[in-house]
Structure 1
Amino acid sequence: MATDGTADIVVVGGGMVGLASAIALRDRGLDVVLLDPGEARARTSYGNAGVVSRGSILPMSSPALWGKLPAYLRNADRGLRLNYAHLPRIIPYTAHFLAAARASRWRRAAAALLPLTSAAYPAHERLAARAGTTDRLQRTGWIKAYRSEAAFGAAALEREILSGHGVAFDILDTAALHALEPALVRPYARAMLLTETGSVREPGRLIEACEALFAGLGGRRLRGSVTRLEPEAGGWRVAHDGGTVRARQVVLAAGAASGAIARTLGYRFAVAAERGYHRHYALHPESPPLTRPVLDTGAGSILSPMGDHRVRVLSGVELNARNAAPDHTQIEAASREAAGTLRLGGPLDNEPWLGSRPSTPDGMPVIGRAPRHEGLLFAFGHGHIGLSTGPITGEVIADLATGRTPPVPVAAFAPDRLLAWPRLP
């Protein structure tokens, strides 16, 4: 097997978290190798809604889970679809997920995530200025729309927690929402506009610009998939399908593949792949533009503007094996609902895009040093906030790797919390 030489540190994974980590590590003077398969469209960072929100502090596992559980188990909820045959493979994840649905856990997760999400947009601004993508970053807020007063009322605890943490939002009635977003033709009963929110237009372009920035800083990139991480005297041997590279430290930031890679070292994380789909549509020529992302809570899907009068329709969550065949049930339903919300033309893609988010059951990422291996750092499990909090996570990882104090507290994201069965409460 060919050798790719040595480095101070190898970052495994070229999504937003991995790229931001690699850039921040180069800024601190380390010789960095970024190892990634190079399949841009396969990265979750490529295909998400582009939302960067201070208010992204409420995990999917919430006290409302218990009322929704019957619908989830019947695949009758548009926001979540289960592959029943896959469930036995994620029993530890499911146990942690149910434990995290307690109100006390939900509140603790929100408090832990707030410093990370509060630092997210400023970190994006710093990165965009260097990568030349400030024109793709806009701070227009984002909308959670409710189709009925009952649905709006059911989200009261969410608003209470957000307000308690100082997250700014405005409540809009039907007329106010239409005035703000005239492209929406569906008469939503209420909406919440989270004002401390930005969005990235065409996230894939940001990833490409960050790749160029990393290369311009003298970073080295290798294309390949990790086949083995092997600790050795003084560091690590990283084997991939194109060769090997040796380094003093390794950052595992491989998104949904991270759990399988960590398992080869004996770390059995309670994580799962959250699959999601998107498809692009052109707005009708006479439609006003959509100016900010919209979460249609009744459809369990997101509508996000991508520029050039285009909209990205994103499905809810599918819990399934990462490499299972596509199931277009959710994206087809989301597209039908979107056609009743916006004036859409035909799809612009031949097939829907499919990607896998690295999901933790408590909604918090895994960030920190490996408990049993010197020189191994974990940075994965960001779920729906990977693009959003990727740049600030990169700064955290660079500080941990160089013995500095991170800019935000990360003790709550310690890896060992997901290596055992959940404790109650």
Structure 2
Amino acid sequence: MQQDERTADIVVVGGGMVGLSSAIALKDSGLDVVLCDPGEARARTSYGNAGVVSRGSIFPMSSPALWGKLPAYLRNADAGLRLRHLHLLRVMPWAAHFLASARTSAWRRAAAALAPLTDAAYPEHRRLADRAGVPHLLRESGWVKLYRTEEAFAGAALEREILAHHGVPFEIHDGAGIQALEPALIRPFARAMLLPETGAVGDPGGLVEASEKLFAGLGGRILRTTVSRLEPEAEGWRVVHPGGTVRARRVVLATGAAANELSRPLGYRFAFAAERGYHRHYALQPGSPALTRPVYDTGAASILSPMGEGRVRVLSGVEVADRHAEPDYRQIEAAAKEAAGTVRLGQPLDNRPWLGSRPSTPDGLPVIGPAPRHQGLIFAFGHGHIGLSTGPITGRLVADLATGRTPSVPVAPFAPGRLLGWPRP
């Protein structure tokens, strides 16, 4: 069987929002770009996102509040986190440093690093949606965090303080104000925080597909394949896939939670965990007002996000497990049960829930930057819950790095080398 042999200026491995945005920005920079991705839309984490693009998405999961919740987490008694205990040995390096990051000082540092990235997220998303011919998929509707009790609202005071410090606007509403703000809600809530400078993507999978068409229309080349390995050569890189190879001077690794599979053979062992998440679509009951923006019910640790035509996407909390483990639908079933008390939820519209794996770093910051030990290799992964949100701005940063321009957002906090001194998994 004849092997396919190609050349390019740069190869992007991974076709989620980060990889696609990188490929488009690199193509805009005048480079010959090959994008390698299997093309399985539902397998991309970007497909299953809540669609929130917010300036306020500056907080890692490793918050100072974790310590008070840790006993419940370990017993799987909190909806926000479910542990597959048999899998914990595989993520012990991540878990140890995740816990070490659950300090107020570390939370503040992470927020300061992420704020410039999230500040630039919506404008880049708007530009991408317009260019891809799907401006209707993105609207600046804001999003709402809901608190069932005054005590829960008071417990989030540090979050509001940090948001204010970074100039992220928010509005506080009481029970009556919440009902006026979002008439679809039927559960009484004590308080709500509206973050108005937030975009909502009405179909994340559709936006990814439109971005792929944009890339192809710009002359970008797409190889529908997985990549087996990356091999450094004297003049660049040899990207090996089952059907052949692509030789290029540079490679961008943007494969999300799977990044370790290609970086480990090169000597890079990142302390990653797969933060698995589930979603399922439901209809609203006839006569129910539409949900107009994404809402996060902090009491249920789940998000309800409108996805057009009367559909609501219910998203679960986080499951820490091997990313190849069989699904466990108990968490999404519990989230749907809670959601039915929050809005007038009707019948499920999917045969089964969706499952995807978010790439989680211990400090909650993405990995964006050149590989420390290999010329021409750029890492762009580890975005956790904000991969869809910050994908377009990450793509611009990748293009800056590849072409020698000064990045438009400081990338030093995201440098790959910061993680390599930690114990190896």
User: What is the correspondence of 1:19-98 to structure 2 with a 5 Å cutoff?
Assistant: 19-98=20-99
Q: Which deviates more from structure 2 when the two are superposed, residues 318-327 or residues 234-243?
A: 234-243
Please state if 1:4 is matched with 2:31: no
Report what 2:234 is aligned to: 233
Please list the CA deviations of residues 333-392 of structure 1 after superposition, one character each: whole Å capped at 9, or x if unmatched.
Answer: 000001101111110000000011111111110000000000000000001100000000
CA displacement 1:3-45 (0-9 Å, x = unmatched): 3310000000000000000000000110000001111001010
1:108-135 Cα offsets, whole Å, 9 max, x none, are: 0000000000000000111111001111
What residue identity is the alignment partner of 2:360? S
Deviation of 1:417 after TM superposition, in Å, equals 1.2
1:260 Cα shift?
Answer: 2.0
Structure-2 separation of matches of 1:79 and 1:181? 23
CA distance in 2 between counterparts of 1:154 and 1:10 reads 46
The residue that corresponds to 2:371 in the other structure is: 370
C-alpha contact (below 8 Å) 1:278/1:352 kept by paired residues? yes
Partner of 2:322: 321
The equivalent of 1:104 in structure 2 is: 105
Identity of aligned residues (%): 75
Alignment-derived partner of residue 170 in structure 1: 171
CA distance in 2: counterparts of 1:274 and 1:120, whole angstroms:
22
Deviation at 1:240, TM superposition (A): 1.4
Which digits, 9 at most, give the CA deviation of each residue in 1:315-334, with x for residues without a partner? 01001011100000110000
Aligned residue identity for 2:149: S
1:160 partnered with 2:177: no
Divergent runs of 4+, >4 A: none
Residue of structure 2 equivalent to 1:335:
336
1:415 and 2:420 aligned: no
Matches within 5 A, 1:156-305: 156-305=157-306
Q: CA RMSD in A?
A: 0.9
**Hey, what's the Cα distance between the residues in 1 that align with 2:301 and 2:260?**
27
Q: Which moved more, 1:16-25 or 1:89-98?
A: 89-98
Per-residue CA shift, 1:159-208, capped at 9, x if unaligned?
11111111100011111011110000000111110111111101111001
Secondary structure in 1 matching 2:287: coil
Paired with 1:241 and 1:318, the residues of 2 have a C-alpha distance of: 32
Amino acid at match of 2:30: G
Q: Aligned partners of 2:221 and 2:66: how far apart in 1?
A: 45
SS at match of 2:57: coil
CA deviations on 1:59-107 (whole Å, 9 max, x unpaired) are 1001111111111111111010011111111111112101111111110
The one-letter code sitting in structure 2 at the alignment partner of 1:252 is L
Q: Secondary structure at the match of 1:264?
A: helix
Partner of 1:150: 151
Q: Is the 8 A contact 1:95 1:421 kept in 2?
A: no
Q: Distance in 2 between matches of 1:194 and 1:421?
A: 36
Structure 1, gaps ≥5 residues long: none
Cα distance in 2 between the residues matched to 1:125 and 1:336: 34
C-alpha distance after superposition, 1:226-277 (max 9, x if no partner)? 1111101100011112221111000000011012211111100011111100
Equivalence for 2:353: 352
1:174 maps to a residue whose letter is G
Q: Is the Cα–Cα contact under 8 Å of residues 62 and 101 in structure 1 kept in the other structure?
A: yes
Structure 2: give runs of 5+ residues left out of the alignment.
none
Q: Could you tell me how far 1:285 is from its partner in structure 2?
A: 1.7
Aligned equivalents of 2:45 and 2:144: distance in 1? 22
Could you say what secondary structure the match of 1:23 adopts? Answer: helix
- What TM-score, normalized by structure 2, do the two folds share? 0.98
**In the aligned structure 2, how far is the partner of 1:386 from the partner of 1:188?**
30
1 CA distance for matches of 2:233 and 2:415?
24
2:380 corresponds in structure 1 to: 379
The answer to whether the aligner puts 1:130 opposite 2:109 as a matched pair is: no
Measure the CA separation in 1 of the matches of 2:194 and 2:261: 38
* Corresponding position of 1:115: 116
Partner of 2:393: 392
Task: Give SS of 1:6's match.
Answer: strand
